[in-house]
Structure 1
Amino acid sequence: MTAAGTVPSPPSRGACWIQHWDPEDVTFWEETGEKVARRNLLFSVFSEHIGFSIWTLWSVLVLFTGPEYGLTPADKFLLTSVVTLVGAVVRVPYTFAVALFGGRNWTVVSATMLLAPTAAAFLVMEPGTSFGTFLWVGLLAGIGGGNFASSMTNINAFFPMKKKGWALGLNAGGGNVGVPVIQLVALAIIGAGGGPRVLLGVYIPLIVVAAVLAALFMDNIENVRNDTGAAQDAAKDAHTWIMSFLYIGTFGSFIGYSFAFGQVLTNQFGRTPLQAAYLTFIGPLLGSLVRPLGGRLADRYGGARITLWNYVGMGAATAVLVFASMRKSLPLFVVVFVVLFALSGLGNGSTYKMIPGIFQAKALAEGMAGEEAASYGRRLSGASMGLIGAVGALGGVGINLAFRQSFLTYGSGTGAFVAFLVFYAACFAVTWAVYLRRPATRAAARATAEAKPQLSYAEV
């Protein structure tokens, strides 16, 4: 802590490395830290936004692939599943790249790498290209999904605990908006009679802009160093895997539905690509915009409580979707699907707020305090975010594969929605059992037997 009345000096930006960073120090935060953190957040959001757009590029490109491309609905669902899978897997190394290379440095590198999948898609996007070629190019697009993990790990280190829900929610929400934005751009291009190469030509210069802005205006934090022990400790902690399961239900739903919504509309309800494009952006847009609200509500009421009731809403919406799918009611289907998107975004914000709160609560229960507890929470939450983000994104793979199998078996998405309803019920049960259930007798017994603070996750 700084001495009373002492204004902390601005952190050095020599070679873009900040030598001193203590956001929990109120004086440091108010005089210096908040300005720097907000600047890094702004350019992190932009870079992650472009990353999400490139990751979900193929959810749009498949709408351009008419009969002349020779792709079946099953081929398209498999293609988007592969893209989602790669985006999930690369989130793990991207998380640790921040500590190894620095948050600013890795943002520049990861943004620049997005040129590869975009240029490759520009070259192959024409009738006559084999399905295998599309799969390989789709694999490249998956790297855009990794930007989320490195961005969230980086921003997590910049903000104090009381601001993390808002900051992480805004960072992720701004990135998630990349999904509806690329769908809106595609809608404009399709409506104007343009082809997929026009869309790709729009994003290539934006990638360059994102990399240049990150190089000019972002920072690395010196005391965020690669810590393999943190990764091992996070992997051994049961809460990492419990939160991964819950994040499948929120973010897995968001990204999976983002890839699949347009295909469901074209295959089940007979919409044309242009008609589908008029609708597909609405759900991802609302889901992205409400994510910061989910973080803000979690800051105020506790992430576990918001997450619990959010799963109630997701389950209810899915039940209505089963009904709408069986009755083939397009208006009801679209409205409720958009509501489900919004709830998934709200849950994204609340679940990610829980992560640092859980490890902070464990530190306090072990008798740590002040910067020691905050450092412990940052160390393990930063390491766990990559694993949680990766497993959560795998939910998007499961959703696309479930839709693929449902269309092959039943000719509609109804079977997939029934499976999703069961999964949301399981998420509700896990959230309540692990983070909110506190039997009075057991709590009272522990309170009398132990002198140290009691471990409670209800407020995380």
Structure 2
Amino acid sequence: MSAPKPAAARRGGRWIDEWNPEDERFWQEKGERIARRNLLFSIISEHIGFSIWSLWSVLVLFMGPEYGIDPAGKFFLVSVATLVGAVVRVPYTFAVARFGGRNWTVIAASMLLLPTIAAWLVMEPGTSYTTFMLVAVLTGVGGGNFASSMTNINAFFPLRRKGWALGLNAGGGNIGVPVIQLVSLLVIATAGEGQPRVLLAVYTPLIFVSATLAWRYMDNLAPVTNDTGAARESVRDAHTWIMSFLYIGTFGSFIGYSFAFGLVLQNQFDRTPLQAASITFLGPLLGSLIRPVGGYWADRFGGARITLYTFAGMAAATGVVILASGSESLPVFLVGFICLFVLSGLGNGSTYKMIPGIYRAKAEALGLTGEEAAAYGRRLSGAAIGLIGAVGALGGLGINLAFRQSFLSTGSGTGAFTSFLVFYAACFVVTWAVYLRRSSAAAGSTGPAARTDGSEEERPAYARV
């Protein structure tokens, strides 16, 4: 299978017509400088996108008894934003190839004004629950920014640097969640719980800034053409759905816990909005900062191995949270919950590193080499990244719905955590069975690998993805 030919030259709009990051000379002479510049402004745009996507995780803290919305209703508002953010990731993925990475970043950043202005207009007691729900739907556009940003940056970097680059891009975006939580803490502490519009006033000019910077400094890659064939191939590939399942466990946990943490503290441990806001930012902050580390470790040791250890740790941390919930120990609960954030951040970095590695391995299994193999890997991994990101984000919806049902049924989140523990165990088994098990079944299409001593040992084809 041959790689797609570069697109014809395009005029204006900061288009780059030739791009070959796997060529070491090209990379050193100009590729790295251009890629790093686009990475920087991609992070800024994605950061604001994540903040707006997680807007309702903090707006619900401003909604006191006068709003007439119970805890289940607040969890549902957060769930709506999560769901829409996951769904729009699919079209956002292919928008990069249709419009260009720089052009779409400008459009996507500008669209964040819609939910921000809408929330400004409706955030007051007496507004109907349906209206709040429609505004929560609008905030989902912030979740789509992640898919287009990751697809775009994936094309800029060589395979050997993708773990670091994707981890940094995603981590810088993810940190938008704790940042808006910190800003909301400052607003609650200074202006009071009844002033959500102050928070919205802070973010409106930042949206303008991120869109302007993307328009001024980012680039479009002409070789990244719209390829519906790649989308169809990635949908048919079993690895796309296996990695989606694993990403539900990592990113789904991160975004789900980020949105729900404050509500859990309020409803299970009777924290006030200010007390909850003073703690909730810490977990998402650490999970975001550690994500590039997960990508770096995956580059060095193999994404599958890091992902396996991550799920083992998440299962153990969930066990701690369950014990703390039963004994109503807030300090132990916080330790376990924050460990879940840190481990999910590591897993986010390692799973995303696995995706381009898997498709590069598949290219080599087909007999492709050099730039032809690299182009094949970029083509399919670019399509798969958006789909995997969309399905993974649905894990956040599952977490919020699980919390909603658990609090409705028992008044506690313990039942939800028990189901999460079972899921992490399943993710551990799948990671080991598909990517690390030493058997001919795990070896995939590439078969046994030769050892340095001349003998053969059946080992996993994707162990170092």
Matched, 1:459 2:457: no
1:301 aligned residue: 301
- Could you report, residue by residue, the CA deviation over 1:393-420 in whole angstroms, capped at 9, with x for unpaired residues? 0000000000000001111000000000
Contact 1:87 1:142 in 2 (8 A): yes
Contact 2:449 2:459 in 1 (8 A): no
Determine the C-alpha separation between the residues in 2 that align with 1:174 and 1:443.
35
Residues 204, 424 of structure 1: CA spacing in aligned structure 2 closer, same or farther, 3 A cutoff?
A: same
Amino acid at match of 1:419: S
Q: Aligned to 1:15, what secondary structure does the other structure show?
A: coil
Matched, 1:38 2:43: no
- Give how far 1:12 is off: 10
Matched, 1:114 2:119: no
Contact 2:39 2:153 in 1 (8 A): yes
Contact 2:235 2:384 in 1 (8 A): yes
- Give how far 1:441 is off: 9.8
- Could you report, residue by residue, the CA deviation over 1:211-258 in whole angstroms, capped at 9, with x for unpaired residues? 000000000001000000000000000000000000000000000000
Amino acid at match of 2:305: R
Residues 260, 448 of structure 1: CA spacing in aligned structure 2 closer, same or farther, 3 A cutoff?
A: closer
Correspondences of 1:217-228 after superposition (within 5 Å): 217-228=217-228
Residues 442, 184 of structure 1: CA spacing in aligned structure 2 closer, same or farther, 3 A cutoff?
A: closer
- Give how far 1:455 is off: 7.2
Determine the C-alpha separation between the residues in 2 that align with 1:446 and 1:176.
38
Q: Taking every aligned residue pair, what percent have the same amino acid on both sides?
A: 72
1:80 aligned residue: 78
1:407 aligned residue: 407
2:342 aligned residue: 342
2:137 aligned residue: 139
Runs of 4+ with >3 A deviation: 11-14, 440-449
Residues 268, 103 of structure 1: CA spacing in aligned structure 2 closer, same or farther, 3 A cutoff?
A: same
Determine the C-alpha separation between the residues in 2 that align with 1:337 and 1:31.
45
Residues 127, 441 of structure 1: CA spacing in aligned structure 2 closer, same or farther, 3 A cutoff?
A: closer
Determine the C-alpha separation between the residues in 1 that align with 2:211 and 2:56.
22
Determine the C-alpha separation between the residues in 2 that align with 1:58 and 1:266.
15
Amino acid at match of 2:401: L
1:257 aligned residue: 257
Determine the C-alpha separation between the residues in 2 that align with 1:379 and 1:294.
24
Residues 422, 297 of structure 1: CA spacing in aligned structure 2 closer, same or farther, 3 A cutoff?
A: same
Matched, 1:322 2:327: no
- Could you report, residue by residue, the CA deviation over 1:302-359 in whole angstroms, capped at 9, with x for unpaired residues? 0000000010000000001000001110011111111110000000000000000000
Determine the C-alpha separation between the residues in 2 that align with 1:104 and 1:338.
35
RMSD: 2.0
- Give how far 1:193 is off: 2.3
Amino acid at match of 2:241: W
- Give how far 1:454 is off: 8.9
Determine the C-alpha separation between the residues in 1 that align with 2:126 and 2:104.
37
Matched, 1:375 2:364: no
- Give how far 1:440 is off: 6.6
Determine the C-alpha separation between the residues in 2 that align with 1:180 and 1:337.
15
Matched, 1:429 2:449: no
Contact 2:433 2:442 in 1 (8 A): no
Contact 1:13 1:219 in 2 (8 A): no
1:3 aligned residue: none
2:155 aligned residue: 157
2:3 aligned residue: none
Matched, 1:20 2:25: no
Determine the C-alpha separation between the residues in 2 that align with 1:253 and 1:58.
17
Residues 79, 447 of structure 1: CA spacing in aligned structure 2 closer, same or farther, 3 A cutoff?
A: closer
Residues 219, 278 of structure 1: CA spacing in aligned structure 2 closer, same or farther, 3 A cutoff?
A: same
Contact 1:256 1:395 in 2 (8 A): yes
1:129 aligned residue: 127
Amino acid at match of 1:415: G
TM-score (norm 2): 0.94
Q: Aligned to 1:290, what secondary structure does the other structure show?
A: helix
- Give how far 1:15 is off: 2.7
Residues 50, 446 of structure 1: CA spacing in aligned structure 2 closer, same or farther, 3 A cutoff?
A: closer
Determine the C-alpha separation between the residues in 2 that align with 1:340 and 1:15.
43
- Could you report, residue by residue, the CA deviation over 1:82-118 in whole angstroms, capped at 9, with x for unpaired residues? 1000000000000000000000000000000000000
Determine the C-alpha separation between the residues in 2 that align with 1:304 and 1:443.
14
Amino acid at match of 2:463: A
Determine the C-alpha separation between the residues in 2 that align with 1:441 and 1:315.
26
- Could you report, residue by residue, the CA deviation over 1:20-65 in whole angstroms, capped at 9, with x for unpaired residues? 1000000000010000000000000000000000000000000000
Contact 2:303 2:350 in 1 (8 A): yes
- Could you report, residue by residue, the CA deviation over 1:275-302 in whole angstroms, capped at 9, with x for unpaired residues? 0000000000000000000000000000
Unaligned runs of 5+ in 1: 1-10
Determine the C-alpha separation between the residues in 1 that align with 2:441 and 2:17.
49
1:274 aligned residue: 274
